Chains A and B, each alone.
Chain A
Amino acid sequence: MSDDKNNSNSFDIFEQKLAQSLAELPNLEPPSDLTDRIMARVQEVEKPRPRKSLGVYSRVRPYIPMAAASILLVMAIPLILMGGPPDNTQAPMKTPMVVTRAGDVKNYVSDEKLTEFFQTWDKELAAEQAKSQTSVQDNEPLLAYDSALSSGMENLAETNVLYDDPLSALVGF
């Protein structure tokens, strides 16, 4: 408590001395020509100044060409990276579209394409038929078996004997 009081007193003394020291600071006379120099500067301020430019636009104007060039360059970067515009000549041809009188949209196929298609189809059909004939010749034993089986069944029907196994009927049992 007594320390606080001492500190408080100390502070009061300090404040008093500080105030006294600052108050005793001499007020020095400024240079004798200071007023004249200030007035000269005031005159300068008051003189009509050259008309200022039109504000923001005039300050920005010198940079417009550079800004435009920069924008174009930025827009061109994706094209440059992609290797230029897409080459339509290399794109696959799409089937042209036609609109019928009824308003339906259908794929249009040219006559040449149709002729080529049917020729190919004919060839494939002929090849299929030739292949099937060849397969008949290859299967002659099986066909002979079928005919024998048929005749055997007929014989069995005549004798009214039923066999569970048609093969047994063929061999006589």
Chain B
Amino acid sequence: MTVILEHDQTLVQQTLKGEKNAFKRLIERYSKLIYNHIYRMSGSWEMADELTQEVFVKVYQKLDTFDSTKPFKPWLMRIASNTTLSEFRKRSKVVSLDALKENGYWKEPNSAPDTSALVETRLSTQAVLMLMQSLEAKYREVLLLRYKEELSYEEIADAMNTPVNTVRTWLKRGRDRLKKEMAKQNKRIVSP
């Protein structure tokens, strides 16, 4: 971990000195992370492709403001988060849950609602991801950073530029709302 951290700092310093290959190595290291994160946030490969480019261009432009005493990844995630949320505000991103059925992500239930078993028995992993699109972007992002990227509360707070307690609150609300949304969708399909 320490080796990687030092390596990130070294690459940043080399980039600031004008070494293009150093920045290219940073892209190769983190583009997959950013690309997948934006896709999970947006549900769109096109947006993931477009915004990943934009994120790294911003990183390059703001690299001189990066604090070398801190880890690079949360700083990069912050830029990715701001860029993605800003794009959502522009596009007013709303994903219809009916699209879940059309895309085959939603499996028709065979019994009464049972939210404790939903994730296991009735929703594929992709369906969970798609259902998350109904959440506000901040809840979606905090859930992904926590459970997918496995960042600590402090790292999420740093990435989202918000206090740690707010991160805890958003995580709880995000889980609650996702659970309610699943129960609602299940009930709607069982008794239309």
Residues of A whose CB lies within 8 Å of any CB of B are: 10-11, 13-15, 17-25, 27-31, 34-35, 37-39, 41-42, 45
| A39 with B20, Cβ < 8 A, contacts A30-B31, A34-B31 known | yes
Is A22 a contact partner of B147 (Cβ separation < 8 A)?
Answer: yes
Q: Is the CB of B119 within 8 A of A38?
A: no
Known: A14-B179, A23-B148, A45-B60. A38 touches B129 (CB 8 A): no
Interface size class of B (residues with CB under 8 A): 35 or more
From 51 to 67 in chain B, residues with beta carbon under 8 angstroms from any chain A beta carbon are 52-53, 56-57, 60-61
For the complex, give the distance between the alpha carbons of A37 and B178 in Å. 36
Q: Is B49 an interface residue (CB 8 A)?
A: yes
Q: Tell me whether A21 and B128 are in contact (CB under 8 A).
A: yes
Tell me whether A17 and B175 are in contact (CB under 8 A). Answer: no
* B185: interface (CB < 8 Å): no
B31 touches A22 (CB 8 A): no
- The answer to the question of B110 belonging to the interface, with a C-beta cut-off of 8 Å to chain A, is no
| B153 contacts A by Cβ under 8 Å | no
Shortest CB–CB separation between residue A71 and chain B, in angstroms? 37
Q: Residues of B contacting A45 with CB < 8 Å? A: 57, 60-61
- Contact (A38, B52) CB under 8 Å given A14-B116, A14-B175, A23-B148: yes
Query: With A and B bound together, what is the CA distance between A27 and B148 in angstroms?
Result: 10
Q: Is B105 an interface residue (CB 8 A)?
A: no
Chain B nearest CB, measured from A41 CB (Å): 5
The distance from the CB of A166 to the nearest CB of chain B, in whole angstroms, is: 118
Name the CB-closest residue of A to B61.
A45
Instruction: Please provide the 7 A-B residue pairs with the shortest distance between their CB atoms, ordered closest to farther.
Output: A17-B119, A30-B35, A22-B147, A19-B147, A10-B116, A21-B128, A22-B148
Is B53 touching A23 in the complex (CB atoms < 8 A)? no
Residue numbers in A under 8 Å from B178 (CB-CB)? 18
Inter-chain CA distance A31–B28, complex, in Å, is 12
Contact with A along B82-93 (1 / 0, CB 8 A): 000000000000
Determine the chain B residues whose CB is within 8 A of the CB of A10 once the complex forms.
Answer: 115-116
| B157 touches A (CB below 8 Å) | no
Q: Which residue of A lies closest to B24 (CB)?
A: A39
In the complex, the chain B residue whose C-beta lies closest to that of A9 is B116
B47 within 8 Å of A by Cβ?
Answer: no
The residue on B at minimum CB distance from A28 is: B36
Which residues of the partner chain A approach B146 to less than 8 Å between Cβ atoms? 19
B120 at the interface (CB under 8 A from A): yes
For the complex formed, measure the closest distance between the CB of A47 and the CB atoms of chain B, giving whole angstroms.
13
0 or 1 for each of B26-55: is its CB under 8 Å from A? (1 = yes)? 011001110110011000000011001100
Distance in Å: Cβ of A20 to nearest Cβ of chain B: 8
Give CA–CA (A35, B150) in the complex, Å. 25
| Residue contact B175 to A18, C-beta cutoff 8 Å | yes
Bound together, the chains give a CA A28 to CA B40 distance in angstroms of: 11
